[in-house]
Amino acid sequence: MCGIVGIYGVEEASKYLYFGLYSLQHRGQEGAGIAVFDGKKIREYKNLGLVSEVFNEKVLQELPGEIGIGHVRYSTTGSSVLQNVQPFCVKHAGKTLALAHNGNLINAYRLRCDLEEEGHIFQTTLDSEVIVHLIVKNLKIGLVDAIAHTMQRIKGAYSVLLLYDDILVAFRDPWGFRPLALGMLNGGYVVASETCAFDLLGAEYLRDVEPGEILLINENGPKSYYPFRETPQPLSHCIFEFIYFARPDSLIFQKNVYIVRKNLGINLYKECPLEADLVMPFPDSGTYSALGYAKASGLPLEFGVIRNHYVGRTFIEPSERLRDLSVRMKLNPVKEVIRGKEVIVIDDSLVRGTTSKNRIKSIKLAGAKKIHFLISCPPLKFPCFFGIDFPKASELIASKHSVEEIRKFLDIDTLYYLSLDGLLDSVGDLRDKVCLACFTGNYPLEVDFSFRKDIIER
């Protein structure tokens, strides 16, 4: 996962990009970068770390200009190197291309092998670099056609921002896996992964960049091209954006995330109405579903665990004796709320089960009498190849164990997962337009397992 933001025609673009990235920080904490066209050339700055660690006033002042793009990168194993931080910039025929990509391609490794055979040299292990090579290779037919041609070859999830000197281009895969929205700012334009970036910048949301659209913005204004008009693909918006990933104040695929999450909680109650003393979330991921469950049930909503918002990465591994410390550091139970109570705890998802086991243990130690644990999505059984960082199937607890086995492992009174129907009901009219592969194993695109390196190397 990653977050991207682009600005066209706004003074001090780098500052707006900085704040835009700040509001998209939840989409990636490994590294951040900004590339801006200064009137003559593209300047860039990127580094490992959080947006607030990478940039300061001086760095932003050295990125003057009105057109630029930015990126925040999600932390995945094995690729935590500066080279892999975006925007990815290359020089070609006197111009610079900078690219910021959110999503995963599923055929990048095969394409890369073909390109390497033709003599192309790669600098990173990014699937995004393949996109740059394919565009540059075809530039002789014109920028838009080169992008359209590239879009016909790459398969998978891509919401992309491209800076070609003074031209900003946004393009999105025809399945619409990842979000991308267009807004208006001080007479200029802003494109961002989530609309929460618009709210912070004071921009007005205009519309989504459509699946399969190429939106080019230059001195003549925005212009759209639709290379998939004759061959539209089935829409496959990532439902996990609603469940966990996106910010609740954002519009994703034109729907507000907060309201969808609250619906998940209401549907949890319809499917699993329980009696208890209180409903509590594991914050922040379970907060809005817990709100929905409490509203539907009439039970009191309490914050039985408190989140420390200042926990960043810690480089000190707690010793065995201190191993519970890392759990309590992020979420600490309020004994006075929990002690002697029968509690309904709500979280958005169970992935490996290890974090939840520790969290549950800590509320048990705080004196909870009975624990009912409700998950606002169905069991996660299949890995994601389109950009959500889900481990191999063997590491997903629900792929190897039944609900009853997981309940025993967590050592709780009740474990309930929302049904697929309850999930789909929560997204209303998007129900036929979402990717559910992590629950069903039905991937919207055939994944080429003989080229698994694509999947492993990120």
In whole angstroms, give the CA distance from residue 400 to residue 394: 7
Residue 332 interacts with ligand AMP (CB under 6 A)? no
Nearest approach in angstroms of CB 390 to ligand AMP is 5
Q: Which is nearer to ligand AMP, 144 or 420 (CB)?
A: 420
In whole angstroms, give the CA distance from residue 414 to residue 437: 26
- Residues with Cβ < 8 Å from 125, sequence gap 6 or more? 79, 84, 457, 458
Residue 389 interacts with ligand AMP (CB under 6 A)? yes
Question: Which stretch, 28-36, 173-181, 353-361, 435-443, contacts ligand AMP (CB under 6 A)?
Answer: 353-361
Residue 417 interacts with ligand AMP (CB under 6 A)? no
Of 364, 327, 359, 375, residue with least CA distance to 342: 364
Q: Which is nearer to ligand AMP, 235 or 345 (CB)?
A: 345
Contact 32, 21 (CB under 8 A): yes
Residue 210 interacts with ligand AMP (CB under 6 A)? no
435 catalytically annotated: no
Contact 394, 197 (CB under 8 A): no
Binding mask 237-256 for ligand AMP (x = CB under 6 A): -------x------------
Question: Which stretch, 209-217, 218-226, 315-323, 350-358, contacts ligand AMP (CB under 6 A)?
Answer: 350-358
Q: Which is nearer to ligand AMP, 64 or 353 (CB)?
A: 353
Q: What is the DSSP string of 427-445?
A: TGGGTTSEE-HHHH---SS
In whole angstroms, give the CA distance from residue 343 to residue 364: 10
- Residues with Cβ < 8 Å from 423, sequence gap 6 or more? 239, 243, 264, 267, 377, 378, 436, 439
Q: Which is nearer to ligand AMP, 125 or 358 (CB)?
A: 358
- Residues with Cβ < 8 Å from 319, sequence gap 6 or more? none
Nearest approach in angstroms of CB 5 to ligand AMP is 22
Among the listed residues 23, 29, 349, 362, the single contact to ligand AMP using CB under 6 A: 349
Burial class (CB in 10 A: 0-12, 13-18, 19+), 78: exposed
Of 161, 281, 210, residue with least CA distance to 433: 210
On the question of a cis peptide bond just before residue 379, with omega within 30 degrees of 0, the verdict is no
What HEC string does 250-296 produce?
CEECCEEHHHHHHHHHHHHHHHCCCCCCEEEECCCCCHHHHHHHHHH
In whole angstroms, give the CA distance from residue 29 to residue 397: 25
Residue 354 interacts with ligand AMP (CB under 6 A)? yes
Nearest approach in angstroms of CB 47 to ligand AMP is 24
Among the listed residues 347, 362, 387, 437, the single contact to ligand AMP using CB under 6 A: 347
Question: Which stretch, 24-32, 37-45, 66-74, 343-351, contacts ligand AMP (CB under 6 A)?
Answer: 343-351
Among the listed residues 35, 182, 264, 351, the single contact to ligand AMP using CB under 6 A: 351
Question: Which stretch, 30-38, 56-64, 263-271, 344-352, contacts ligand AMP (CB under 6 A)?
Answer: 344-352
Set 2, 272, 384, 438: catalytic member: 2
Pairing of strands 31-37, 42-48: antiparallel
Nearest approach in angstroms of CB 386 to ligand AMP is 12
Residue 355 interacts with ligand AMP (CB under 6 A)? yes
Token digits of residue 326: 């890392």
In whole angstroms, give the CA distance from residue 208 to residue 223: 14
Binding mask 270-299 for ligand AMP (x = CB under 6 A): ------------x--x--------------
Q: Which is nearer to ligand AMP, 212 or 379 (CB)?
A: 379
In whole angstroms, give the CA distance from residue 235 to residue 383: 19
Binding mask 63-92 for ligand AMP (x = CB under 6 A): ------------------------------
Residue 353 interacts with ligand AMP (CB under 6 A)? yes
Among the listed residues 79, 102, 289, 356, the single contact to ligand AMP using CB under 6 A: 356
Which residues are known to be catalytic?
2
Q: Residues interacting with ligand AMP, by CB under 6 A?
A: 244, 282, 285, 347-356, 388-390
